[in-house]
Structure 1
Amino acid sequence: MFRIIDYQATEPIRKVNNNNPFAIPHSPKRIVLASIRITVPRRNSNNNRVELIATVGVRGVRGTSQILFKIFRDGKEIFRAQEGIESDTTSEVNYIVTFQAIDMNVGQGTHLYQVTAENITNGTEAAVVGPISFSGLAVAPDNWDRD
């Protein structure tokens, strides 16, 4: 069994808004969509984990974009996922992308997690239209000692 040692969540955009999109930049540039801080209170980091979940609403603007989502811990990339976003008006153009990452054996301290997006397909355009949410749940085994 595991117990919760920290939980943080943010929701920078609560609902879809096609009237106020912001462009997803082309690689190597990227946009930070959300940030949270998770605290691991004990030096012994064996068997703890931080479970991260992100949801991002995006819209295809031109062509079929490949959007690369990344999660960073303290500036170091720990996860990436890719999603194709079409802009063809005869099909869907709004997408909700949700992904989960698990960061294992995280060291003691407060850690900054950030989720980013970048468009890796030249000649295409995609935008964030919302919603955006990002949460992190730090857990440790029940027998894990506290300091």
Structure 2
Amino acid sequence: MYLTYLHTPELASPTLDTLYEMLRAQPEPQAHELATALELYARGSASGFAQQTNVDTTNRVMVFDLAALGADLQTFGMMVVLEEVWRRIVANKRRGVRTWLYVDEFHVLFANDYAGAYCQSLFKRVRKYGAAATGITQNIEELLESERARL
């Protein structure tokens, strides 16, 4: 799937919809099963991440707003954002650039098991990569209810 994109860098990166279409075009029944499993995320009500990003990742300041995501995509959205933040921190270290990370509504991340675990790990690692992380919350009691956040 990536060969076309690797040899033609001016093409936009493939999306989940690209994968869905390629799977549907395959003759194997296993490919059709995978396409059927992906359909909700490529074409259905959970297709919010199936298109090219609308975030300009070349900006010095990036803001991610996950408030509009439905409950079924909240975990996935948080993980996508946290992974992009980590990728950016690593890339900045290679370039000798410090990163400042500010997370508003910090308690929301720790209300989610997956995002809380990732965030705990991220906040422990970032200093080694020349980054400074700050969690901001108006609800300190809710944050302190999370054992993971207290660590």
- Pairwise TM-score range, normalised by the shorter structure: under 0.3
Q: Normalising to structure 2: TM-score of the pair?
A: 0.24
Normalising to structure 1: TM-score of the pair?
A: 0.25
For the pair shown, the structure with the greater C-alpha radius of gyration is: 2
Q: Hey, which of these two has a bigger chunk of strand by percent?
A: 1
The structure richer in helix per residue is 2
Considering Cα pairs closer than 8 Å and 6+ residues apart, tell me whether 1 or 2 has the greater RCO: 1
